[in-house]
Amino acid sequence: MPSDSFKKARRLLRFAKVMNKLLRRKVTPLGLRANMQQSMQGREPEGVRYVEVDADGVPSAWLVPEGHDGRIRVLHLHGGGYTAGDIQTHRAYAGHLAKASGAAVLVADYRLAPEHVYPAALEDGLAAWRWMAANGPDGPGTADRLIIGGESAGGGLTLAVLMALRDAGESMPDGASLLSPWADLVVQGETMKTRAKADPLVAQEWLLACAAAYQGDTDPATTGMSPVFGDFAGLPPLDIHVGDAEVLLGDSQVVAEKAKAAGVDVTLEVWPEMLHIWQVLWPTMPEGAAAVEKAAAFVRAA
């Protein structure tokens, strides 16, 4: 049963969605960026240190908990439809994940569309991953466990990075944490329709707009952009969490189905009544905190 605070937040979001429709306001990629920068500014919890670094040309930041386990590192690739989001919009979630897991979490500020189209985000995701594999918050050095993860577009980007690493014959992460991954930029899933009324945050229309901004002249079905069409064989364990009230529910379901068919160890957890990236929006609400704890458990156990 959702908490009262979650119900209130959901009602406000649904009201905003109805008003935007009545006023014929359309979400644009740059409008999404401005909205995220206004609404998702947050700080890491107490006991977590924030350290900005250059991850081989990709502006990034470590969120390091007190007494952190230097053996475990996590790369988090933020969401925002490839057009929005940055370190500041996601440092709160990364900080809570760091504190809950004991791991050092690196947030990468990859290049955004429409200024930088595909494959800019993928190139930056790969660069940040390779840098983190060789460097921790205390300097150069290897780690016992390396995890990669992301939410929404960052979840799709995580899968694209994994497939690129495998195809290049490089070492793989020990696991991947995917929160409501956007893995199909053709935007054709059945839940785009069946969850349209239930989802107060995301709509097929603005997903198409963000996809168009990111794809440039590239076919959106390209694996590096839409990993749902790629080969999942050889990927590390995937831990997928998604809400039942999301238009992107179908992306998670198809990813899990194809990955399992390819022999990948997959966990798919569908959270009743939850909306898109609730873990990142409200990491301190009961529902968000519970999801952060589950992500943290996967980080520790991967």
d(C-alpha 128, C-alpha 244), whole Å: 32
Give me the pLDDT at residue 15, please: 45
Domains of the chain are: 4-301 (3.40.50.1820)
d(C-alpha 90, C-alpha 188), whole Å: 28
Torsion from C-alpha of 258, 225, 59, 76, nearest 10 degrees: -20
Which residues have a Cβ under 8 Å from the Cβ of 216 and sit 6 or more positions away? 113, 117, 118
- The model's confidence at residue 19, banded by pLDDT at 50, 70 and 90, is very low
- The model's confidence at residue 24, banded by pLDDT at 50, 70 and 90, is low
pLDDT digits (tens, 9 = 90+) for 32-46: 788 888 888 788 999
Scan for tokens 């925002």, then name that residue: 80
- The model's confidence at residue 14, banded by pLDDT at 50, 70 and 90, is low
Give me the pLDDT at residue 30, please: 79
Q: Over 50: is that where the pLDDT of 22 sits?
A: no
The pTM for the full model equals: 0.94
pLDDT digits (tens, 9 = 90+) for 90-125: 999 999 999 999 999 999 999 999 999 999 999 999
Burial category of 38 from C-beta neighbours within 10 Å (exposed 0-12, middle 13-18, buried 19 and up)? exposed
Q: Over 90: is that where the pLDDT of 227 sits?
A: yes
Give me the pLDDT at residue 23, please: 44
pLDDT digits (tens, 9 = 90+) for 112-160: 999 999 999 999 999 999 999 999 999 999 999 999 999 999 999 999 9
pLDDT digits (tens, 9 = 90+) for 257-285: 999 999 999 999 999 999 999 999 989 89
Burial category of 73 from C-beta neighbours within 10 Å (exposed 0-12, middle 13-18, buried 19 and up)? buried
HEC string for the chain:
CCCHHHHHHHHHHHHHHHHHHHCCCCCCHHHHHHHHHHHCCCCCCCCEEEEEEEECCEEEEEEEECCCCCCEEEEEECCCCCCCCCHHHHHHHHHHHHHHHCCEEEEECCCCCCCCCCCHHHHHHHHHHHHHHHEECCEECCCCEEEEEEECHHHHHHHHHHHHHHHCCCCCCCEEEEECCCCCCCCCCCHHHHCCCCCCCCCHHHHHHHHHHHHCCCCCCCCCCCHHHCCCCCCCCEEEEEECCCCCHHHHHHHHHHHHHCCCCEEEEEECCCCCCHHHHCCCCHHHHHHHHHHHHHHHHC
Sign of CA dihedral 93, 99, 100, 102: positive
d(C-alpha 87, C-alpha 297), whole Å: 23
Q: Catalogue the active-site residues.
A: 152, 246, 276
Burial annotation 103-117 (CB, 10 A radius, 16+ → b, else e): bbbbbbbbebbeebb
pLDDT digits (tens, 9 = 90+) for 282-300: 898 999 999 999 999 999 9
